[in-house]
Chains A and B, each alone.
Chain A
Amino acid sequence: MKALRQTLDSISIPIIAILLGLAASSIFVALANVSPIETYQKLFCEGFGPRGCQNFGDLLFFQVSNGDGGTSTVFSPLYGEGGSRIALLLEQATPLILTALSAAVAFQAGMFSIGMDGQFVMGAITAAFLGYWVPDQIYLLVGVTDPEAAPIILKTIMHGVVPLICLGAAMLVGAIYSWIPGYIKVKLNVNELISTIIFNAIAVQLITYLVNFPMRADFNNIARTRRIDDTAWLIPFNRGIFQDVEWFSGARVGVGLIIALIAAGLVWFYLRRTTAGYEQRMTRGTSLFARFGGIPTGRAVLRAMLISGALSGLAGAIAILGVERRVVDGFATGGTGFDGVLVAILAKESIVGILLVAPFFAGLNLGATNLQFGDLPRQLGGIIISFIILFNAMEDFIRQRLRALLRGRYWTRKSSATSGESTAV
């Protein structure tokens, strides 16, 4: 009973925030002279619904015509004709989950680090580089001149090893890139918010340079790096184990999602079950308390920054190895890292929350991107999300209003009861 009340209590505010966010954003939709209801219908259909989804109802149950002219009703999330949108949404949620975890770990050490973007692209470029360089070196070593003709056994071994090398290296690079702002915070008390913003800017410039010059692969209009070797590829489900499942056909969701889920479990375990996680959480609570108890606060903060950076680096590597397979100019400004910060804030840094919010966030983005309706720009998704975050942050205010509303009812009932009494007397 108590547990039920608590869960109800903790999810009621996000849900109210979502509704308020949609209501507030509808002002902008109305300004563009289209109906908000229809827009949202379209938005959610494009983001969460099955192909051909027309209205809110279709999000749950959907009429499909089967070959002989009749129709049958299906449960939409499981309907996968032409590839499910949910799969696509999961593909996009994968890096978001990791960057949100990264933000949560930093926040829970009292570090308001928003360096996820920088760490993400540094991890990505590392994976993109090693993804062709390492196989090259191996082929050279064993004397294979044509990778296509390499023996199957070699390829199988490489497929087991190369992605691991790429992921590990990207985590390391991300971790170091996050450790530096942590170190100058602990030693020199330089504000981490400012230093991570600067580090993000540096990373973006660096990657733009690398992609345009030293790592540019060809004379394609838009500069891009070489494609990673097939053996470095984190094969998506639709090319691997679930080749025949139509549901997965349109999306490159794959091993990366499993890695992200495992990472979420590990982060939860680290924060809640280990002394190291305890140290960083206490440091955040009040650092005076942590110092009073003898907790090595500097070490706890630096450890948090390393873990946070590694998670963002991992996100970048998965985006490359699992989806993009190369870094294209403009990738660095994609903002996946910062979206992760928003997801973490919206989820109140809870791990379960992140696993719920990241797909929702990805779905809204997807819906807004695909939305072709009136003159509405794809930024609508961003507007809605911003409003939701704003209302979510107003939790205390909303709670108070709610309570006042309920209390108002209570009082009127009470006073009417007493007035009833007085008339009786």
Chain B
Amino acid sequence: MSNAIELQHIRKYFASSQVLACDDVSLSVESGEVHAIVGENGAGKTTLMSILYGLLTPDEGQILIKDSPVRITHPNDAIRNGIGMVHQHFKLVPSFTIAQNIMLGIEPNRAGFINVNSEAEQVRNLAESFGLPVNPDLPVREISVGMQQRVEILKILQRNAQILILDEPTAVLTPQEVREFLTVVRRLAGTGRTILFITHKLAEVKAIADRVTTMRRGRNVGTHFAKDQTIRDMANLMVGRVVTLTVEKGPAHPGETVLQAENLLVAGADGIPAVFGASLDVRAGEILGVAGVSGNGQTELVEAIVGMRPVDGGTIRYLGQNITHALVRERREAGLAHIPEDRLTTGLNLTTNLDENVVVTSYQHKPYSQQGIFSFAPIRALAQEIIDKFAIKSARVGEPIKTLSGGNLQKIVLGRELKGDPKLIIANQPTRGLDVGSIEFVHKTLIEARDKGAAVLLVSVELDEILALSDRIAVMFAGKVLAVLDAKEATEEKLGLLMAGSLELHEANAERAHV
């Protein structure tokens, strides 16, 4: 087989952050191959792919396509060479329809007037020919994340991409969507297309990749056949040391009830109730996992508990006190910490620097400010402390955080939230987009916090994570907590059934029988 792409001795140094993101990286990908790229957060995976796609220019090195050197200095060059990229963060226009998004910039037109019907028609044909059905007329803001990704893929297929670069395509998908996505990838490879995809989920690599390249600190530390490597091999190669993939934790010693939510009624963004009648409680020194297919009210539940979303009915108690309508600040001052689902717009302010991000929950207190005026030395010390404690590579005091990799950003959030030993930690998808080493670290940190007596509410769509960390497990379905199980009796099958709402069905049937 011939090489679809060959990268030779790519080097990229970012002067602004003084990071050598790619250090003499060479890589060849055969056509028709599914090639996975794995590596720690900040290893330079996205940078390498951005170079291939023309978003960045390398300092040194060259790119060969079908064995002849090409010059790619702009995404247009890449597209002309049959390369398409789906970014880590989708770049769709929410108010446009699926068809408009896919055809953006290449609209079929006559004398400048867009032919809307043929636009939708073309998209429908395209979608069918690849077995990726979509409804072209739906606005993107109304479709699920999995569907958005499908739109992104169709968008590059419409531009005749033969080489598809997918940057962490599965990070935001539900397990169900992931399975669908993997079959799509296989099918595309079957049509002779070459697929380069970045992931942190090593099981996916085993499942679909032909070969896997591991990057560490900007270097390619090895390309192997996926079938020859175990997940453990890959993890160790990535991190450069032996990683414990299983979580070690002792038995919980639950104390008093810290959080008690009763019969909560919470409206979603569209005003329709997303949580109705959910109840749960979390005790000090335990981790309560909340499992569920995403979109069953978990996000709204979390936002209600932390005070970012109004509660329409029911009560929330914190250490016996009613905080149902308390302000975010009041809850935080009382010892609540929140690791939000969306770190890019909720957990962090990417337009400003590290210092102003780490101080957002404590700036009004001494020593960070006095009489409303900042004292910068303690703030810088706080930022440095978080960098050191959480080993946040390439983050520096007083510098912008915009260019940090996803894992490092999450560590900043963790460092800020876990500072000062909170009594209640609400963690929503805390390991999304993190590498195995960082996941290990987050898990350890959460368990440590638990052992120090914090109550932890962990929401995750990853069943493995729920099973590994939780002492008790609550399953959410359609806005309700269907059941709370002891972690010891929970199995993947049992949870799976509950997550699909089987209990609900059961009850409904019983009711019907009753009538």
A292-B340, A293-B360, A295-B360 given; A285·B329 CB < 8 A: no
- Asked if B374 is at the interface (CB within 8 A of a chain A CB), the reply is yes
User: Which B100-121 residues have C-beta < 8 A from chain A?
Assistant: none
Q: Mark B313-351, 1 if CB is under 8 A from A, else 0.
A: 000000000000001110111000010101001111111
- Of B333, B360, B374, which one neighbours A273 at CB under 8 angstroms? B374
A275-B372, A291-B308, A291-B328 given; A407·B363 CB < 8 A: no
Q: Mark A283-319, 1 if CB is under 8 A from B, else 0.
A: 0011011111111100000000000000000000000
Chain B residue with minimal CB distance to A296? B329
Greatest chain B CB density within 10 A among A273, A288, A293, A404 is at A293
B306 contacts across to A, CB distance below 8 A:
292
- Asked if B384 is at the interface (CB within 8 A of a chain A CB), the reply is no
A285 contacts across to B, CB distance below 8 A:
349-352
A273-B373, A275-B363, A278-B374 given; A289·B345 CB < 8 A: yes
A274-B372, A275-B369 given; A294·B347 CB < 8 A: no
Q: Is B356's CB under 8 angstroms from A292's CB?
A: no
Q: In the bound complex, what is the Cα–Cα distance between A296 and B332 (angstroms)?
A: 13
Q: In the bound complex, what is the Cα–Cα distance between A368 and B57 (angstroms)?
A: 45
Q: Is B351's CB under 8 angstroms from A294's CB?
A: no
- Asked if B8 is at the interface (CB within 8 A of a chain A CB), the reply is no
User: Which A86-134 residues have C-beta < 8 A from chain B?
Assistant: none
B364 contacts across to A, CB distance below 8 A:
275
- Asked if B361 is at the interface (CB within 8 A of a chain A CB), the reply is yes
- Of B329, B347, B372, B373, which one neighbours A289 at CB under 8 angstroms? B347
- Asked if A210 is at the interface (CB within 8 A of a chain B CB), the reply is no
Chain B residue with minimal CB distance to A287? B345
Greatest chain A CB density within 10 A among B57, B328, B347, B348 is at B328
- Asked if B73 is at the interface (CB within 8 A of a chain A CB), the reply is yes
For residue A12, give the distance in angstroms from its CB to the closest CB of chain B: 16
Chain A residue with minimal CB distance to B73? A407
Q: In the bound complex, what is the Cα–Cα distance between A413 and B373 (angstroms)?
A: 53
- Asked if B80 is at the interface (CB within 8 A of a chain A CB), the reply is no
For residue A407, give the distance in angstroms from its CB to the closest CB of chain B: 6
B374 contacts across to A, CB distance below 8 A:
273-275, 278
- Asked if A411 is at the interface (CB within 8 A of a chain B CB), the reply is yes
A274-B372, A275-B363, A275-B364 given; A294·B332 CB < 8 A: yes
- Asked if B494 is at the interface (CB within 8 A of a chain A CB), the reply is no
- Asked if B452 is at the interface (CB within 8 A of a chain A CB), the reply is no
- Of A289, A291, A292, A411, which one neighbours B71 at CB under 8 angstroms? A411
B346 contacts across to A, CB distance below 8 A:
286, 288-289, 292
Q: Is A276's CB under 8 angstroms from B372's CB?
A: yes
Q: Is B352's CB under 8 angstroms from A292's CB?
A: no
- Asked if A281 is at the interface (CB within 8 A of a chain B CB), the reply is yes
Chain A residue with minimal CB distance to B359? A278
Q: In the bound complex, what is the Cα–Cα distance between A251 and B374 (angstroms)?
A: 40
A404 contacts across to B, CB distance below 8 A:
73
Size bracket, chain A contacts: 20 to 34
Q: In the bound complex, what is the Cα–Cα distance between A278 and B347 (angstroms)?
A: 16
Q: Is A289's CB under 8 angstroms from B327's CB?
A: no
Instruction: Classify the interface of chain B: helix, strand, loop or mixed.
Output: loop
For residue A270, give the distance in angstroms from its CB to the closest CB of chain B: 10
Chain A residue with minimal CB distance to B338? A292
A273-B373, A274-B374, A286-B345 given; A294·B361 CB < 8 A: yes
User: Which A255-272 residues have C-beta < 8 A from chain B?
Assistant: none
A296 contacts across to B, CB distance below 8 A:
327, 329
For residue B344, give the distance in angstroms from its CB to the closest CB of chain A: 9
For residue B255, give the distance in angstroms from its CB to the closest CB of chain A: 26
Q: Is B308's CB under 8 angstroms from A292's CB?
A: yes
A293 contacts across to B, CB distance below 8 A:
328, 332, 360-361
Chain A residue with minimal CB distance to B342? A288
Chain A residue with minimal CB distance to B361? A293
Q: Is B360's CB under 8 angstroms from A282's CB?
A: yes
- Of B329, B347, B356, which one neighbours A282 at CB under 8 angstroms? B356
Q: In the bound complex, what is the Cα–Cα distance between A356 and B289 (angstroms)?
A: 57
Q: In the bound complex, what is the Cα–Cα distance between A293 and B71 (angstroms)?
A: 46
Greatest chain B CB density within 10 A among A282, A291, A292 is at A292
Chain B residue with minimal CB distance to A294? B329
Q: In the bound complex, what is the Cα–Cα distance between A288 and B356 (angstroms)?
A: 15
A281 contacts across to B, CB distance below 8 A:
352, 356
For residue A286, give the distance in angstroms from its CB to the closest CB of chain B: 5
User: Which A161-208 residues have C-beta < 8 A from chain B?
Assistant: none
A275-B363, A275-B372 given; A282·B349 CB < 8 A: yes
A276 contacts across to B, CB distance below 8 A:
372
Chain A residue with minimal CB distance to B374? A273
A290 contacts across to B, CB distance below 8 A:
349, 360
Q: In the bound complex, what is the Cα–Cα distance between A275 and B364 (angstroms)?
A: 7
B350 contacts across to A, CB distance below 8 A:
285
Q: Is B373's CB under 8 angstroms from A274's CB?
A: yes
For residue A280, give the distance in angstroms from its CB to the closest CB of chain B: 12
A407 contacts across to B, CB distance below 8 A:
57, 73
For residue B336, give the distance in angstroms from its CB to the closest CB of chain A: 10
Q: In the bound complex, what is the Cα–Cα distance between A288 and B345 (angstroms)?
A: 7
Q: In the bound complex, what is the Cα–Cα distance between A407 and B74 (angstroms)?
A: 11
Q: Mark A396-417, 1 if CB is under 8 A from B, else 0.
A: 0000000010010001000000
Greatest chain B CB density within 10 A among A274, A293, A294, A296 is at A294
Q: Mark B257-285, 1 if CB is under 8 A from A, else 0.
A: 00000000000000000000000000000
Q: In the bound complex, what is the Cα–Cα distance between A285 and B340 (angstroms)?
A: 17
For residue B81, give the distance in angstroms from its CB to the closest CB of chain A: 16
Q: In the bound complex, what is the Cα–Cα distance between A411 and B74 (angstroms)?
A: 13
Q: In the bound complex, what is the Cα–Cα distance between A293 and B348 (angstroms)?
A: 9
User: Which B11-41 residues have C-beta < 8 A from chain A?
Assistant: none
Chain A residue with minimal CB distance to B416? A293
A275 contacts across to B, CB distance below 8 A:
363-364, 369, 372-374
Q: Is A286's CB under 8 angstroms from B71's CB?
A: no
For residue A306, give the distance in angstroms from its CB to the closest CB of chain B: 15
B360 contacts across to A, CB distance below 8 A:
282, 289-290, 292-295
A289 contacts across to B, CB distance below 8 A:
345-349, 360
Q: In the bound complex, what is the Cα–Cα distance between A294 and B346 (angstroms)?
A: 12
For residue B334, give the distance in angstroms from its CB to the closest CB of chain A: 11
Greatest chain B CB density within 10 A among A274, A288, A289, A295 is at A289
B333 contacts across to A, CB distance below 8 A:
294
For residue B94, give the distance in angstroms from its CB to the closest CB of chain A: 16
Q: In the bound complex, what is the Cα–Cα distance between A292 and B307 (angstroms)?
A: 8
Q: In the bound complex, what is the Cα–Cα distance between A290 and B306 (angstroms)?
A: 13
Q: Is B57's CB under 8 angstroms from A278's CB?
A: no
Q: Is A294's CB under 8 angstroms from B327's CB?
A: yes
Q: Is B349's CB under 8 angstroms from A286's CB?
A: yes
For residue A276, give the distance in angstroms from its CB to the closest CB of chain B: 6
For residue B291, give the distance in angstroms from its CB to the closest CB of chain A: 24
For residue B416, give the distance in angstroms from its CB to the closest CB of chain A: 9
Q: In the bound complex, what is the Cα–Cα distance between A275 and B360 (angstroms)?
A: 10
For residue A292, give the distance in angstroms from its CB to the closest CB of chain B: 5
For residue A411, give the distance in angstroms from its CB to the closest CB of chain B: 7
A286 contacts across to B, CB distance below 8 A:
345-346, 349, 351
Chain A residue with minimal CB distance to B369? A275
Q: In the bound complex, what is the Cα–Cα distance between A278 and B372 (angstroms)?
A: 10
Chain B residue with minimal CB distance to A288? B346
For residue A5, give the distance in angstroms from its CB to the closest CB of chain B: 9
A275-B363, A275-B364 given; A292·B372 CB < 8 A: no
With A286-B345, A288-B345 given, can you name 11 additional A-B contacts, CB distance below 8 Å? A275-B374, A278-B374, A286-B351, A289-B349, A291-B308, A292-B338, A292-B346, A293-B361, A294-B327, A294-B361, A404-B73
- List 25 interface pairs A-B (beta carbons < 8 Å), by A numbering: A273-B373, A275-B373, A275-B374, A278-B363, A281-B356, A285-B351, A286-B345, A288-B342, A289-B346, A289-B347, A289-B348, A290-B349, A290-B360, A291-B308, A291-B328, A292-B306, A292-B308, A292-B338, A292-B340, A292-B346, A293-B328, A293-B332, A294-B332, A294-B361, A407-B73
Binding site for A on B (CB under 8 A): 57, 71, 73, 306, 308, 327-329, 331-333, 338, 340, 342, 345-352, 356, 360-361, 363-364, 369, 372-374
